[in-house]
Amino acid sequence: MKYFLGFVPPEEIYKRIEDFRKRTNERHFRHIEAHITVKSPEYLGDPKLWMPMLKETCERQEPVEIQLGSPMFFGRSAVLYLSIHSERILSFHKAVLACLRPFCPPQDRRRFEGDDYHPHLTIAMKSFGLKEHEMQQAFILAAEQLSGFPPFHAKSVRVYQQLEKGHPWKPLYDIPLGH
């Protein structure tokens, strides 16, 4: 089984983003909820082994202030996402990486982590069935409909689990930050 960690926006922001995602890329919407990835998917093994260390790490971290930014693309419009502005998200990400490193198979270590980490909230993906013109239209709509969000504090991190490759990701635990 694979696991990953993400911040979920507050309910009012979450609902707006999920409504948009459902209208523009329903296959992606059904595969995973709106989130900001903190730790990429890994085969971490039995959660009973790594969860206590992860909880300790999260308890030592203060909530992370996040500001959602404008829509952008990764690659040649392969992934549409909202940019993230946050002074503390990278240090939180690195603390989680250090905590989970002993449980990550060396060959499974991810690109786009550590200094290459690029926090974002994915809106739509070509790999879930959208064509180029649909991605461009989603970009225009996202710029109109998904702007002006207030900053928020992520007060917990969500652990997701995927039982089998290709299956939807399911929320497993919410781990609070700070005391």
Residue 48: exposure state from Cβ atoms within 10 A (0-12, 13-18, ≥19): exposed
Q: Which span out of 29-38, 52-61, 126-135 was modeled with the highest average pLDDT?
A: 52-61
**Whole-number mean pLDDT of the chain?**
88
d(CA 72, CA 80): 6
Question: Does residue 168 belong to any structural domain of this protein?
Answer: no
Question: Does residue 78 belong to any structural domain of this protein?
Answer: yes
Question: Does residue 108 belong to any structural domain of this protein?
Answer: yes
Instruction: List the domain range (segments joined by +) for residue 144.
Output: 2-163
Contacts of 99 (CB under 8 A, 6+ apart): 50, 53, 54, 56, 57
Please count the structural domains in the chain.
1
Query: Which tokens sit at 140?
Result: 């225009």
Question: Does residue 175 belong to any structural domain of this protein?
Answer: no
> pLDDT by residue (tens digit) across 37-94?
999 888 888 899 999 999 999 999 999 999 999 999 987 777 889 999 999 999 999 9
Query: Which 8-state DSSP code applies to residue 60?
Result: T
Strand partners, 152: 66
Question: Does residue 60 belong to any structural domain of this protein?
Answer: yes
Here the CATH number for the domain that contains residue 86 is 3.90.1140.10
Least confident of 8-12, 17-21, 89-93: 17-21
Grade residue 23 by pLDDT with cuts at 50, 70 and 90: confident
Question: Does residue 173 belong to any structural domain of this protein?
Answer: no
Question: Does residue 145 belong to any structural domain of this protein?
Answer: yes
Question: Does residue 103 belong to any structural domain of this protein?
Answer: yes
- Among residues 18, 13, 11, 12, the alpha carbon closest in space to that of 33 is found at 18
